[in-house]
Chains A and B, each alone.
Chain A
Amino acid sequence: MSLEHILKVENLVMHFGGIKALNDVTFNIKRGSVSALIGPNGAGKTTVFNCLTGFYKATGGDITLSAQNKETSVIKVLGEPFQATDFLSPFAFFRRLKYKMFGGSHLVNRAGLSRTFQNIRLFKEMSVVENLLVAQHMRANRSMLAGVLNTKSYQKSEEEALDRVFYWLGVVDLVDSANRLAGELSYGQQRRLEIARAMCTNPEIICLDEPAAGLNPSETEALTKMIRVLRDEHNTTVLLIEHDMGMVMDISDYIVVLDHGEVIAKGGPEDIRSNPKVIAAYLGAEEGEEVTL
């Protein structure tokens, strides 16, 4: 259990057949920081997120999440193939069998990491409130009997869930749209709802994939404020992917730059701004275009 770093990514490799999306990516995220993952299109940023959250099984490397007072190996909870030594030790065998049968990306979320998606994934035909209620599934009273009989403890748990729903709707300024369908909301509102939904799972670290994409400047500013609220009032570590350099430089404590599946620079905003490799990567993408970081 590392107190300083909430997330450690070591030598992460991800290949899709012949495509080497990630080559040896290594970085650490400090607890309580706002960090950014940047890079040109196709650099592999979303792929890193998908590996972190368990949607892709990394080809190689290690991801360690230190949250909820324990260390979780993201690679392990996804279910690894059996190894010869497992057949000698029943304990190791059953643990591996358990993860193989019941493991998966949901365990990563339960270990304290939640995320949003680059292409918004809301439950479109459910109401805004229901979207946030689903996110609290693991905290709800899930006993069938209690629910069918509508017992006191069930009602209490539902009331608490609704309290949390309206708290988060307040934070993302969606109380007026509480009873609308998620699919009917505007793009900016959907982005905010997705963040609220991710926060409802009570994570220690939240990964936002391009949260400001498609937002206008004032909405981006509101988003920046909101991300600060997440960190300062809820002690949530934030890791975000973003192309809006103004916003990235504004809120990040730490920046990791990816290009062609490799980390080309890491450091504070000032270091990154003046890093020749980073400028080259962004310049190289579109030759002759002026790039200011």
Chain B
Amino acid sequence: MSATAGINYKKSVIDALVAGFMALIVFGPIVGVVLDGYSFNAEFGKVAWMVAVVVIGRFAISCFFQTEKGIAMAFRHANNDEGVAVRLPDHKSKLLWVVPLVIAIGLLVPFIASKYVLTVIILGLIYVLLGLGLNIVVGLAGLLDLGFVGFYAIGAYGLALGYENLGLGFWSMLPIAALIAAMAGAILGFPVLRMHGDYLAIVTLGFGEIIRLILTNWTSLTHGPNGISAPLPTFFGLEFKRRSRDGETFHEFFNIPYDSAYKYMFIYLVLFAVVWAVLFIKHRLVKMPIGRAWEALREDEIACRSLGLNHVLVKLSAFMIGASTAGLAGVFFATYQGFVNPSSFTFFESALILAIVVLGGMGSTLGVVIAAFCLTVLPELLREFAEYRVLMFGILMVVMMIWKPRGIVRVTRTGFAARKGVVK
């Protein structure tokens, strides 16, 4: 295989024309036909532009892959072993340097970023939490959960309802909501975790919808679709409002002018700390007996049972820990929005969180963090293309599944140094 054969332009032209035809079919109806009342306007110009971009792009790619460089690149990717790798026993993770750097930058962010950027990053971090939680359930324990948003809703409504009915604030609800979500996970999990794969997916899908329907219809408690307001966190009892009914506010205490960005800064810092705590716990969990049991269960449930592991309890623990993480994320979501209503907890959210886990690479922590930011922050930053968001989302998924079907980050396993074995 040498590049001296030159570029076969005929092949490239055919490739480009085929791609252009596909683009015409896809973009034609979506972009070319714009509804206008009961009639529609045909926008041929826009379609022509898009198709032209696709044709030229495809032609360029086709030519590139026939050059020496392109062949080498294609070869490298074809050879790239995407599977799991075991690290050497004396492996030193590069993350050891990266982590302090990221923490330092992360701590600086609220003081440099604008209020808008900060809110986007908070949203990204909330999805990191959700992704980490679902990663335990789907990525490690191999339980396909399509109703994860249910636990997220429980956390968010936990804060709002706890404040309204019991007068509990952010700080007391943070652990309580995690516990309630974990309990909900246990109650849902115990009867259904004996099921496998598809059945479990359907039951959890139903669970997510049930939670949303309860929130919508139990109007006496949840105010239905109108939603309820959620409290802001307090800084040692100081509130982040302009005026406080009882007690002092943050800006009055420190004698600084009021700025609504303070509350986001504070939420960000707390969330940042919680995300790191969850990352640390998750990092420990995968190395602990319980984490190994989760993964073993994903690999082979029957073998697990033959080794004395109670498969129901192992699954339940994964389900509960995943749910409690979602509960935490829910509390942050509620306090950040200041308001919750059932429309934030639709199936689309569950699908988004699942996409984060799948794109990041099942079981890979770093991958999930990157994917969470990509899938939540990028759409926010590309607001101009808001109409095409779901389309781009779909394209991204397809591209990823072709390019890296096992996720962005390759899953690695700890290596152990050989030693002299002793028994008892």
Contact = CB atoms under 8 A, between A and B. Distances in A.
Nearest to A133: B292
A129 B416 contact: yes
Interface stretch (A6-14, A25-33, A89-97, A168-176): A168-176
A137 B310 CA distance: 10
Contacts of B310: 102, 104, 106
B84 A122 contact: no
A50 to B, nearest CB: 10
Nearest to A140: B289
Contact of B86 (A144, A175, A180, A197): A180
Interface stretch (A15-23, A108-116, A266-274): A108-116
B290 A122 contact: no
Interface stretch (B245-253, B296-304, B384-392): B296-304
Contacts, number: 148
Given A166-B418, A179-B88, A124 B299 contact: yes
B256 interface: no
Contact of B309 (A106, A165, A169, A198): A106
Tell which of B83, B305, B414, B424 has the most Cβ of chain A within 10 Å. B305
Contact of A141 (B86, B89, B289, B295): B289
Contacts of B313: 102
Nearest to B87: A179
A126 B307 contact: no
B305 A106 contact: yes
A142 B309 CA distance: 12
Contacts of B402: none
Interface residues of A, number: 50
A277 interface: no
A134 interface: yes
B115 interface: no
Given A163-B419, A178-B418, A123 B306 contact: no
A198 B292 CA distance: 16
B302 A121 contact: yes
B421 interface: yes
Interface of B: 83-84, 86-89, 280-281, 284-285, 287-290, 292-293, 295-296, 299-300, 302-313, 413-416, 418-424
Given A121-B303, A147-B285, A165-B421, 17 more contacts: A53-B306, A102-B310, A122-B303, A124-B299, A125-B84, A127-B86, A127-B415, A134-B304, A134-B307, A137-B309, A144-B285, A147-B289, A150-B284, A163-B422, A166-B420, A178-B418, A181-B84
